[in-house]
């Protein structure tokens, strides 16, 4: 054991191995702790606990670094497409042109959704949130595609089917919620343009995909594609550890992402900015509320469990916002309000002392508004982007020979052994 940590407990000394990652991160391997010492660890929210060893994504919260399979997201946002980045995350390497063409053909071949699934949408109440619908529909895919995911080609088929159909399901739910005709995927359109076309094409007003918006959507989904062991990815790994099918594990990830502290923040940011604009731009009271310990209000789109500096994705999204709105000659008061709010927060002692900076959700809603995406679908957009990451992380755990059922321990603080008291004596 060349690198280790010592625990001294009740006069006895225990040595535990220290694991070092390829970027120099270190962890105490506590897998033998309970057996050696009878002790377990306690870490609410797992802020100090690593759940796995992974080679997919590297983040540095202190330096604001994010890399997929070693490639900085800045490079991928500049040069790659979402489908190429999805291939990279899932297969571990960038595809050759031939491999990418094959992948795109598979995505197209799997882009249609079984016609019977359209009936499901008719039975959701009209005001249903698209994230609840998406989680249910992805789970329902298993009923239509029950292949066992035991062999390589079955998994590959399931992976491309999910990547393609989740995008179609999202666009379908929007069209049906509007009472409009469902627009089918087109084999001649690449992934992102196909989605925008399915969302906005109509028999009376044909949709022309705008190259700026297609590029912005590729950047948006590339930046959302993975983020190591965040809440929803951990949900996919934990649910997947029971050896349930991939659709169910992804459905659990969608549910976890929905929360306003996680992926639901992009919708919450737009609602917060709209409220400020409605209240004559009263930023002071928002900042005051965010700093008030007795007020549960948080400045949405600010702060991060890992990034203690500017989220590198927020920087790229902000630049993309400026470029897209300028090119499309869109004036969005919410963008100006976001910039003013950011400026005020970044010069406020409370936010500086707490290392609170804009995260990916702070500006992302502005781009989605420019595309015409309705606010209640913003987190669905996050989910489609995160899907390759969820799949890659699920696959990595499934390929791990030491893959075990996730089952944390606890420290019990309830009543000690008590007697049952018959109801008439209580």
User: Per-residue b/e over 100-109, b at no fewer than 16 CB within 10 Å?
Assistant: eeebbebbbe
Q: Which of 182, 206, 368, 202 is nearest to 273 (CA)?
A: 368
Residue 342 is a binding residue for ligand SDX (CB under 6 A)? no
Stretch that binds ligand SDX, among 31-39, 173-181, 255-263, 277-285 (CB under 6 A): 255-263
Stretch that binds ligand SDX, among 86-94, 258-266, 403-411, 413-421 (CB under 6 A): 258-266
Number of residues near ligand SDX (by CB under 6 A):
22
User: Per-residue b/e over 228-260, b at no fewer than 16 CB within 10 Å?
Assistant: bbbbbbbbbbbbbbeeebbbbbbbbbbbbbbeb
Q: Which of 389, 366, 388 is nearest to 378 (CA)?
A: 366
Pairing of strands 65-68, 26-28: unpaired
Maximum alpha-carbon separation in the chain: 80
- Sequence-ordered list of residues with C-beta below 8 angstroms from that of 91, at least 6 positions apart, any chain: none
Residue 265 is a binding residue for ligand SDX (CB under 6 A)? yes
In the bound state with ligand SDX, the residue whose beta carbon lies nearer, of 155 and 377, is 377
User: What binding mask, one character per residue, do residues 286-325 give for ligand SDX by CB under 6 A, x or -?
Assistant: ----x-------xxxxxxxxx-------------------
Minimum distance, C-beta of residue 206 to ligand SDX, in the bound complex (Å): 35
Tally DSSP H helices, then E strands, for the chain: 18, 6
Residue 83 is a binding residue for ligand SDX (CB under 6 A)? no
Residues present in the chain in total: 426
In the bound state with ligand SDX, the residue whose beta carbon lies nearer, of 200 and 307, is 307
304 catalytic residue (yes or no): yes
Catalytic residue among 201, 226, 311, 361: 361
In the bound state with ligand SDX, the residue whose beta carbon lies nearer, of 240 and 303, is 303
Q: C-alpha 150: how far from its chain's center?
A: 26
Stretch that binds ligand SDX, among 30-38, 189-197, 213-221, 354-362 (CB under 6 A): 354-362
In the bound state with ligand SDX, the residue whose beta carbon lies nearer, of 46 and 144, is 46
In the bound state with ligand SDX, the residue whose beta carbon lies nearer, of 64 and 185, is 64
Closest-approach residue to ligand SDX (CB): 303
Residue 262 is a binding residue for ligand SDX (CB under 6 A)? yes
Residue 66 is a binding residue for ligand SDX (CB under 6 A)? no
Residue 175 is a binding residue for ligand SDX (CB under 6 A)? no
- Sequence-ordered list of residues with C-beta below 8 angstroms from that of 382, at least 6 positions apart, any chain: 224, 257, 263, 266, 361, 364
The string of DSSP codes covering 317-380 is: HHHHHHHHHHHTT---HHHHHHHHHHHHHHTSHHHHHTT--B-THHHHHHHHHHHT--GGGHHH
Catalytic residue among 227, 304, 399, 400: 304
Alpha helices in 69-129 (DSSP H): 73-79, 82-91, 97-109, 117-122
In the bound state with ligand SDX, the residue whose beta carbon lies nearer, of 180 and 354, is 354
Stretch that binds ligand SDX, among 136-144, 188-196, 359-367, 411-419 (CB under 6 A): 359-367
Stretch that binds ligand SDX, among 101-109, 244-252, 259-267, 334-342 (CB under 6 A): 259-267
Residue 236 is a binding residue for ligand SDX (CB under 6 A)? no
Binder among 167, 227, 237, 318 for ligand SDX (CB under 6 A): 227
Q: Which of 303, 405, 312 is nearest to 354 (CA)?
A: 303
Asked if 193 contacts 355 with a C-beta cutoff of 8 angstroms, the reply is no
Catalytic site positions: 304, 361
Binding site for ligand SDX (CB under 6 A): 45, 227, 230, 261-263, 265, 290, 298-306, 354, 356, 359-361
């Amino acid at each position: 054991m060349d690198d280790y940590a010592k625990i001294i407990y009740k006069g006895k000394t225990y040595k535990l191995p220290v694991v070092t990652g390829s970027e120099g991160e270190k962890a105490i391997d506590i897998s033998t702790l309970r057996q050696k010492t009878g002790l377990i660890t306690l870490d609410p929210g797992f802020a100090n606990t690593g759940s796995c060893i992974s080679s997919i994504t590297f983040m540095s919260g202190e330096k604001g670094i994010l890399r997929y399979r070693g490639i900085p997201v800045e490079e991928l946002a500049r040069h790659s497409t979402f489908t190429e980045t999805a291939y990279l995350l899932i297969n571990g390497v960038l595809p050759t042109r031939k491999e990418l063409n094959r992948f795109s053909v598979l995505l197209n071949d799997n882009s249609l959704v079984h016609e019977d699934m359209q009936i499901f949408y008719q039975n959701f109440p009209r005001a249903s949130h698209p994230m609840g619908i998406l989680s249910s529909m992805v789970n329902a895919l298993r009923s239509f595609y029950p292949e066992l995911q035991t062999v390589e080609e079955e998994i590959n088929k399931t992976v491309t089917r999910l990547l393609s159909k989740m995008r179609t399901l999202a666009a379908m739910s929007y069209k049906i919620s509007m009472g409009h005709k469902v627009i089918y995927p087109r084999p001649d359109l690449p992934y992102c343009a196909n989605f925008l076309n399915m969302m906005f094409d109509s028999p009376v007003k044909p949709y022309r995909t705008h190259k700026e918006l297609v590029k912005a959507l590729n950047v948006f989904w590339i930046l959302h594609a993975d983020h190591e062991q965040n809440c929803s990815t951990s949900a996919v790994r934990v649910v997947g550890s029971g050896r349930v099918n991939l659709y169910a594990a992804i459905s659990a990830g969608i549910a976890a992402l929905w929360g306003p502290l996680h992926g639901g923040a992009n919708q919450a940011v737009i609602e917060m900015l709209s409220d400020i604009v409605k209240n004559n731009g009263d930023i002071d009271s928002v900042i005051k509320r965010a700093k008030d310990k007795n007020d549960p209000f948080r400045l949405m789109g600010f702060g991060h469990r890992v990034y203690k500096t500017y989220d590198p994705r927020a920087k790229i999204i902000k630049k993309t916002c400026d470029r897209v709105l300028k090119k499309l000659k869109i004036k969005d008061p919410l963008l100006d309000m976001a910039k003013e709010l950011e400026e005020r927060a970044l010069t406020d002692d409370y936010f500086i002392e707490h290392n609170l900076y804009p995260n990916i959700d702070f500006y992302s809603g502005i781009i989605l508004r420019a595309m015409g995406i309705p606010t209640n679908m913003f987190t669905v957009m996050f989910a489609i982007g995160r899907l390759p990451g969820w799949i890659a992380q699920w696959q990595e755990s499934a390929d791990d020979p030491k893959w075990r059922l996730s089952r944390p321990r606890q420290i019990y603080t309830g009543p000690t052994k008590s007697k049952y008291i018959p109801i008439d004596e209580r």
